[in-house]
Each structure stands twice: as C-alpha cells, then as structure tokens.
A and B are shown apart, each in its own frame.
Chain A
C-alpha cells in the first residue's frame, strides 16, 4: 500500500504576543490589599501567575491579559468587586469587514499548533450571512455511510489534478495508445500557494512560502522578479506569474517550471501557445480577475484549449464588476454549469481564489464548482500578519514580517495547512466522500440558504396579509 499523505504539524509559538480578545482590568486602588482570598491566586488557567512575575522582575510587559479565557470567575468572586472584563479594543481593529477578528485569531491559533479549532458549547455566531455563510454542507445519516478520515481509520484523498484531461483515449489496431497525453500535475492538497496581495515582503517571506510548498508537494505562484537564486532552488515547487509582454524575457524560467501563470489579455490563447513552444511540458494557467461574465470567458478559453483557468476575486470574495458585484461562490456555480453545458468541464481545471479565509470556504468553493483554490492572505496571517495595512501605506510592520526566518515561516504555513486539510477531511468524512475530486460541484451535497428559505419560510409566510 502506498504511503498515506499526511501533513506533519510542528508547534511554532508566535514571535510576537498575539492580540487577545478580552482583557481583564482591575481597579487596584479599591483592592483590599492583604486579602487572603485573592481571586487571582485561584485562576484555574493560571493567567495571573505572570502578573506577579512582572511585579517582581519588571522585565516583561503586561501582556498576560491577552490569554484570558473569559470564565469571569475572578470578576464574580473578588471580595471587593474590583476586577472587570472588557473587550480588548485592539481586537476590534483587527481585519476588515470581510476578514473578521475571530477568523484572524483562529488562523493564528491554527498556525501555532497545527490543530483544528475545537471548542465547547454550541455555535454562537449569526444564523447565516452573506457569502459562504449562506450555505451548509451535508452529512450522511443511517442510510448512507460516513467516512472516518480524521482519526485515520479510513483514508480520504485530498489530491487534485492540474492540467487538461482528454475526454477519451484512442488506441490503434494493436491496442497501442495513440492519444497524445497532455501534461498533468497531481498535487496532494486542493490548494496552491499564491503571493499575498500585500505585505512587507522580503526574500525570507518568499522562501517561507516556497519551502512550505515544496514540503507539502504543492506549488507557490509568484512574480518572476521574486524568484531569486535562493527561491530558484525550490525548482518545480515554484511557478512564475507572467504577463504576455514578458514571456520572452523569462524563457529559462519557463523551461525550468512545471506550471506558469499567465495574466489574461485579449490574445491570451496565442500567448499560451508561445509559452508551450518554449516548454511543451509546462502547464499554463490563465489568471483572470473574476467578473460576473466569467462563465462566458471560461467557455471561450476552454473551447480554445486552455488547460487551467484561475479566476481570482477580491480579498472579500467579490467580483470586480462596478455594478452589482457577485460573490465568488455564486459566480463559480454559473461557470461550472456553463462549462458542463459546453461539454468542456472535465477537460479544464478551474482554480478559484479570493475571500477564502477559513477551511470551510475551501470545501464550499469546491462544492460550488472549483477544482482547487489558491491561498495567499491566510498564509501571510499565519506568519502573524495583523492586517493593519501599515505596509500598504509604507509604515513599519508590527510583526517584522520581512525578518521572518524561512524555516519558522514555513512551519507556521504548514501548521495552518495541516489544520485546514484536517477540517476538509471532517467535512468530507461527514458527507461520506472519500476523495476531494468527487466533492467538485456536488451542489446536491450542500444546502443553500435561498433553497431552504423557498422550501420552508417563503412557502409558509410569503404572500400572507
């Protein structure tokens, strides 16, 4: 039996104290002072132990506050009632409208431990929401078997293929294969690593990403000027992202790569051919900003023979249309349906990116029709990015991103990937699916909010006076 694929996680504690959600404040002037009942001694999470370290040694900042587990025992038991809990204002500033503070914190925790987030009590979030929050994935019960992927009792494959596939093979009269097999890359995880949209970049950052890609067996896509000699060492784990004008300039890079990303342009099919002339074994992925008319563009390119099409939405997952932008999951369902009706779907690989901030988004976009995704920003957050936007404005990075040691950066990325892959296994296992390839466009194994509403509340309540 072949060796089972597994991403080994190694704990990588944060270099900088992460921002915590809650802070405990105490009004020391009201404290009884010599109280023998001090609640701080009774904290079961031992958070206050570090406070006394600070008082004795005065050599570390008072950052223990960030680790409060918010059980409120100290607040409720203090004899003088001087302890109080507040939401850490810095926590509220994390991220933006789409990237919520709790998502960023969850990414940090996963990058630190490599474990999937587990917690007690029921889900506490909103009933549903825009984007990926308006769909639920299915599970199997009684009449359909589930699969136990997470505890390793059954193997669930997360491999996907990049490249064109033939609709059928042809053989000559002596049963010899005559079809020309196009190049195909199999990656063991349904994601590639993309260059984050912003960040305080340096060779160290790129090396972290390339090293992680190489160790996991996937591909890191970046602009050719980022591929320095050091990065070049990672060979086929690195793929250059070119625009049409610069194809000639990077001939040797194209020759050394297994995959090349090409920015979309009017004559893109011609330029794909140009790259293929330089290296017939290379797979060319056409990178297109996601627009609402993506189904037409995908249909045109697929019919023209493009092997891989990568649609990238904004970091908030929205298409780039100025008028009524659509969310990536809805556009991808349309793209998939269009390619199916064109009878092109199985020939072409569809890659999605943008707005994928949690493990579940990876599963959900695959259900909506993508073959795989590329992930950029989450890996930057894994390397402790706080999404403060400082680097965009030219300010210094609060976590000194550019100085990150490549080994450490790669470990954090690998930890996050391991946790995300395990969560994907949970979703697949619950559905009873043993291969992520089979999850693609399984619309029937998801429940969309609009359908559920139509079947229930709309039927009951609509049109009533």
Chain B
C-alpha cells in the first residue's frame, strides 16, 4: 500500500451521513403546524428520532419524517400525534411514496438502501430491505435457517474474505484476497461523474475490495487507488493503453454486458464532453458506440490470445472475463477458464446500464439466478470448479441477494446499481438523456456534477457496505458457518416459494 493511499484511507464506520437534499423522501409525512408551542414533548417521546429539539434553540426542528414508523405507532404510548398538547402534528402518507420505484427496486428497497447508506445499518425496520417485487428469481427465494445451529459462531469471527485467484497452474499471479465477497461494477468515465468514480474507488479501498473503471479509460483521478481498481478492456478499447494495463492488479475483459447482451456500449453525444473525448481518444460531442463483439475474438482460442496479450504486458495481473448469459453460458464459462482467466464473471440480463435499448434489457439472455446454477454445476462436472472464481452480477440489490447468489453457487458478486442508489439514485431511467443524470450521479455536465461531494459519496457507499457486511456475517453465523466460502453452492440454505410447502 502506498503512503499516499494510507493517508487517504477512509474509516469503515464513517457515522451518520444524511441525505444531500433538503427534503428527504419518505413514506409518511409528519407535518408540524404553526400551532406548535415548542414544548419539546414530541422530541422526548419519539424513540426513532423523528422530532428533535435542542436546548439552545426554542423551537422543535422540522420532523425527520423518513424515520417515522407511521400508523404502526398508533397503539404506542409515544404516538406523537395524539400526545401533542397543542394538536400541532399531523401524519399522512406521502404521495411521492406511491410514485417511487419499480418492480425490481420498489419504494421500500430504495428507502431502506438510503437508510443503510445514511446510518451504516438498518435503522428503520419498517421497510422491506431484502427483496423486491418482481415475483421471481431472488424475490422468490428465501433463506432457510436451521432450527438448531450445529455450532455456535460469533458473527465477529466470520471470515468474509474472497479469494480471487484459485488456479493451481498459475504460479505467477499472486493470491489476491478481498475483505468482502463483492466488488464494484464498471461505470465508465463519461457515463458517471468523476466524483461518483472516486467515491466508489474510496469505498473499495476502505473495504479492501475493487471497483471497475468501465470501458471509458483510466482517468488520473483514480491513480491514488490503483491497487483497488479494475481496468476494463471492452470492445471499443477506449482508453486502453499499455500504461493503464500495467497500473493495476486486476483486468477485466468485457465480452458482453447483461443489460444489453449482443450490443456494444453506447455513449450518447451529449455525454461525450471534451474531457471524456480526450480520455477515449475521440471527437467531443459524437455518439460513441463500441462494436460488438470483439472482432478479434471468435473462438476460445482467440480469447486465450487476448489473455496472453494482457499477461505479456502485466504478468501479475488477475484476469477476469465478463460474459453475459446466453443459453450456452456454461460452455462459455468453461472455455474462459481453459483460456486462462482467474475470474469468470457472469452478468445476468437484469443488470444496470447507462443507456440500452429497452428490448435488450428485458428480453435478451437469461436472468442471473438461472445462470449461476447452470454455470456452477457445469464447472463442477468439468472438475474445475475450485480452480476458478465465479462472480455473479446483474440484479444484485441487497445483502440477501448476495447471500442467495453465493448459496446458488457463485463465489462472490458484483454490485453497481446499489452503489448508485446509496448516492440517492431514484432510478428515474434518464441517465442518458440531455445533460445526463439530473441528480448529478451519472452526469458529466460541469454544473450538475457539483451536486455531489467526493467525501459524501465515499462515506455513503462505505456505510452501505458496512450494513451489508454486518448483515451477511449475522446470516452466516445463524447458519453456523465460519466463512462465506462455506456457503457456496449450499442450496439447502435456501427455499423457493414455488416449491415449498
């Protein structure tokens, strides 16, 4: 670890990092009318911190209504609405709540993820924090905890590390271990703002894991985090240079992306600013399409040539192949292994993207839940399962999704959208239009990107990781497991609603 990085390393418990907006989104609205006499009774009563009053100020503060449990409190002794001596408080459902979210990320999941990113743990237990409303896949799987634990495990002792290089025939590449069983997904320079990129990288450094540059080149702002950055070699080869390949410990080939399988990356002209164009060695303002596929790869042997090419430049680099999930994904995965990669990364069809045709997002290639099982079993049958690290992505939203993916047979996961939700993405799906993300997360617009500060971004993601880390350790302890590696392929730890009685 370089000294520069040591200096910059963030704490894994950054504390409470509140929303950057004036009005936090919430399920309920607690309204304090002008009748309030500032007695502070509500602040005394509320155990959830909705009302706050400080001695130095004679008024009670505006209610933090996103912490409110709503009508659930009605029976409690501390129900502020009834207890207010001036009758100044009222409670109603926030109409925004109903207009928020979609099937994959319902309002509850967004609110819960924001809660975790703010506090580093789940404080408002009223929100569904584990599953979405897609009625399939992860949302129909449940954890099947044993009635009696075979051995008592302290959550603090659970080993959460993930080994990224398992090849016994690879004596040159070091055994890289990361502290959490997930790493950050690729978001290219150009699709995301540089604050977002650095925030992700700082979170990765704090948790000793990785983040990925995406296909838009390796911007200088990431240099301090070299050891925690994956550089991507995608079909456009934007910004891929010998120097960038040699900078890092981990290189990813993007053969396909789950959200738009069979199609190349797509950066609309508006987002191709002067800085982005310089990095990508392109003309500013033009739309940049990555070709599909790699026109130098039409066989596994060609793919091996690619891997050899990287290894010649950087012999110690871990190499990952990111592939989508067609019907023969199992064969592709095994082929990737034989071509010499350390990590096989399968990206399911419901994954995130900055811009993709709706038809591709919904219809092309299979969801990750099916693909994990298929690839895991096939690698096992081939006798090479323990030689390769299998990473799943494309629709991993929560700590529970990670646990389910590992229990189905993956070694670890890649997360992308959740990190953006931690930065208060509301999934309005306009990342690509006009000046880019209106909330400043995925925008290269010089004005919009000022909406986010780097420290805030890093701390929010670190907090989300903290919450997941603790949740997964608690789950593993409940299963009586001492390490996350024990969970792999343990489908007996899961039940499926369609098949359970």
Contact = CB atoms under 8 A, between A and B. Distances in A.
Contacts of A75: 23, 25, 96
B360 A426 contact: yes
Interface in B347-381: 349-367, 369-370, 373-374
B11 interface: no
B495 interface: yes
B303 A121 contact: no
A413 B352 CA distance: 31
A16 to B, nearest CB: 23
A407 B500 CA distance: 58
A137 to B, nearest CB: 5
A81 B95 CA distance: 13
Among A22, A69, A458, the most chain B Cβ lie within 10 Å of the Cβ of: A69
Contacts of B300: 142-143
Contact of A456 (B374, B428, B431, B442): B374
A124 B102 contact: yes
B199 interface: no
B357 A118 contact: yes
Contact of B323 (A142, A364, A427, A461): A142
B210 interface: no
Nearest to B331: A143
Given A146-B292, A447-B366, 9 more contacts: A44-B448, A72-B439, A121-B417, A121-B428, A124-B104, A126-B135, A137-B365, A427-B359, A457-B369
Interface range on chain B (Cβ under 8 Å from partner): 35 or more
B293 interface: yes
Among B139, B256, B326, B438, the most chain A Cβ lie within 10 Å of the Cβ of: B326
Interface in A73-129: 73, 75-79, 81, 84-87, 106, 116-128
A122 B361 contact: yes
Interface in A273-304: none
A73 B439 contact: yes
- SS class, residues of chain B in contact with chain A: loop
Contact of B353 (A22, A122, A136, A462): A122
B428 A76 contact: no
Contacts of A148: 291-292
A86 B326 CA distance: 39
A143 B362 contact: no
Interface stretch (B146-154, B157-165, B225-233, B258-266): B258-266
A123 B366 contact: no
B354 A73 contact: no
B326 A141 contact: yes
B442 A122 contact: no
Interface in A337-377: 358-360, 363-364
A42 to B, nearest CB: 10
Nearest to A87: B99
Contacts of A136: 349, 363-367
A458 B369 CA distance: 13
B335 A143 contact: yes
**Interface pairs A-B: 10 shortest CB-CB:** A430-B262, A127-B136, A120-B431, A124-B102, A71-B438, A76-B21, A461-B499, A139-B262, A127-B134, A122-B352
12 contacts: A71-B426, A119-B355, A119-B431, A122-B350, A122-B361, A126-B134, A139-B324, A148-B292, A426-B359, A456-B373, A457-B369, A461-B494
A453 to B, nearest CB: 8
B241 interface: no
B443 to A, nearest CB: 9
Given A119-B356, A120-B431, A128 B136 contact: yes
Interface in A39-74: 44-45, 69-73
Interface string B84-116: 000000000011101100111100000000000
B349 A72 contact: no
A70 B429 CA distance: 9
B434 interface: yes
Among A70, A85, A86, A126, the most chain B Cβ lie within 10 Å of the Cβ of: A126
B194 interface: no
A120 B429 contact: yes
B498 interface: yes
Contacts of A22: 99
Nearest to A462: B499
A416 B498 CA distance: 39
A455 interface: yes
Nearest to B259: A122
A122 to B, nearest CB: 4
A13 B148 CA distance: 65
Contacts of B94: 84
Interface in B13-52: 19, 21-25
A44 B451 CA distance: 13
A126 B329 CA distance: 23
A461 B500 contact: yes
A14 B494 CA distance: 51
Among B139, B370, B373, the most chain A Cβ lie within 10 Å of the Cβ of: B370
